[in-house]
């Protein structure tokens, strides 16, 4: 059975913490209790947290779908995990989390940005738990193989280390007030995102994950997703805005017999999760469920 944990609270937060091997992972559940339809597991991107999915969860609930978002180890309100923080460690945490929650699966796995590598790896290592995959403006092994991939890893890792150092002296609080809500969240989720954005430990553990992006990408590339597994790809921006990148992002869907691709004009990498643009993500989930007969 799942076991909620108490936490010395820096501030109130939504959801609860679940004991995973003596560590607490914060989750936010939405929608009906577990039933016949698959639960939707939501994996946030780098420097993200469960709050990123608040609008998507609201819309999934309106469709009668159950969803779970969570903070990865060390991020948001979750306790740190052992190093290295590569894909295998993160997927092991997620597998342990759903066991503790008595969630039998199978699941629709939805990953934003770097979270795309995680859901792909989960689907490969736990195929019996995966109905299908929805990649939301996601990093893929093919993107990591491009010339810009290693440069992005280095620059983003350096930026996060600077953010962590600045946050320890309170320098991120004014930045968080301005920059934390590029998604377009409201209410408690927006306030939660703003608080988390300014936490030094959050940036530190995000940098630890980024340092292992190349290893995580290699792990996720060790096999192809099964051709009969539904895969939906939802990207930010019209196809003509970056045709080369869009073609690479679409590869996982093109490898599936039940692939689906939607390029969302006007959406940004973060705002794709928000009020204006969340519907295409829900359509991707519905495509996977329909293709799987669920």
Per-residue pLDDT reduced to its tens digit, 96-124: 999 999 999 999 999 999 999 999 999 99
- Report the pLDDT averaged over residues 77-86: 97
Angle at 138 between CA 20 and CA 132, to 5 degrees: 65
Q: Is residue 262 a part of any domain in this protein? A: yes
| pLDDT beyond 60 at 14 | yes
Q: How many CA atoms lie within 13 A of 160 on its CB side?
A: 22
How many residues are present in the chain?
294
Domain hosting residue 280, numbered range:
4-143+217-291
Model confidence at 161, in pLDDT bands (50, 70, 90)?
Answer: confident
b/e code 178-203 from CB counts within 10 Å (16+ = b):
eebbebbbeeebbbbbbbbbbbbbbb
Let me know if residue 150 belongs to a domain: no
User: Model's pTM, two decimal places?
Assistant: 0.93
Distance separating alpha carbons of residues 222 and 279, to the nearest angstrom: 32
Q: Is the pLDDT of residue 5 over 70?
A: no
**Which alpha helices (H) appear in the chain, and where do they start and end?**
54-62, 87-100, 115-125, 141-144, 148-167, 172-179, 187-197, 200-211, 213-220, 243-254, 279-291
Query: What are the tokens at 131?
Result: 């109905």
pLDDT for 286 beyond 70: yes
Residue 38 clears pLDDT 80, i.e. is over it: yes
Task: Give the model's pLDDT for residue 37.
Answer: 96
103 assigned to some structural domain: yes
- Asked if pLDDT for residue 67 goes beyond 70, the answer is yes
- Counting the structural domains of the chain, the total is 1
Q: Is residue 253 included in any domain, yes or no? A: yes
Of 212, 236, 125, 224, which is closest to residue 160 (Cα–Cα)? 212
Residue 1 — pLDDT band, cuts 50, 70, 90? very low
% of the chain with per-residue pLDDT over 90? 81
In-domain check, residue 190: no
Interacting residues of 239 by C-beta distance below 8 A, sequence separation 6+: 246, 263
Any domain includes 154: no
Give domain status of residue 203, yes or no. Answer: no
pLDDT of amino acid 124: 98
Calculate mean pLDDT across residues 207-213: 92
Q: What is the DSSP letter of 224?
A: P
Q: Which two tokens stand for residue 147?
A: 């010339």
In which band, very low, low, confident or very high, does the pLDDT at 166 lie, cut at 50, 70 and 90? Answer: confident
In what side-by-side order are the strands of the sheet with 231-236?
4-5, 16-20, 23-30, 67-70, 39-43, 107-112, 130-136, 231-236, 259-264
Q: What's residue 174's pLDDT?
A: 65
Q: What is the CATH number of the domain that holds 136?
A: 3.40.50.1820
Structure tokens belonging to residue 20: 């995973």
189 within a domain of the structure (yes/no): no
Of the candidates 172, 182, 199, 175, the residue with the CA atom closest to the CA atom of residue 77: 199
């Amino acid at each position: 059975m799942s076991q909620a944990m108490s936490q010395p609270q820096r501030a109130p937060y939504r959801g609860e913490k679940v004991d995973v091997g003596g560590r607490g992972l914060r989750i936010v559940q939405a929608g009906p209790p577990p039933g016949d339809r698959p639960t939707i597991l939501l994996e946030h991107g780098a420097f993200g947290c469960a709050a990123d999915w608040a609008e998507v969860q609201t819309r999934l609930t309106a469709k009668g779908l159950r969803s779970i978002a969570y903070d990865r180890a060390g991020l948001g309100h979750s306790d740190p995990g052992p190093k290295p923080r590569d894909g295998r460690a993160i997927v092991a945490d997620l597998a342990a989390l759903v066991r503790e929650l008595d969630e039998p699966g199978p699941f629709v796995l939805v990953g934003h940005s770097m979270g795309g590598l995680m859901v792909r790896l989960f689907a490969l290592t736990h195929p019996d738990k995966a109905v299908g995959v929805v990649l939301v403006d996601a990093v893929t092994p093919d993107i990591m193989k491009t010339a810009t991939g290693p440069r992005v890893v280095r620059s983003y890792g350096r930026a996060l280390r600077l953010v962590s150092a600045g946050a320890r002296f309170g320098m991120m609080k004014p930045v968080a007030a301005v920059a934390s809500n590029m998604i377009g969240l409201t209410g408690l989720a927006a306030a939660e995102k703003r608080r988390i954005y300014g936490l030094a430990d959050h940036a530190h553990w995000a940098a630890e994950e980024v340092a292992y992006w190349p290893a995580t990408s290699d792990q996720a590339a060790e096999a192809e997703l099964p051709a009969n597994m539904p895969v939906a790809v939802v990207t930010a921006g019209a196809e003509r805005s970056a045709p080369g990148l869009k073609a690479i992002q679409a590869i996982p869907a093109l490898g599936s017999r039940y692939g689906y691709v939607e390029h969302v004009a006007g959406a940004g990498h973060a705002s794709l999760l928000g009020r204006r643009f969340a519907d295409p993500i829900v359509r991707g989930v519905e495509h996977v469920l329909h293709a799987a007969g669920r």
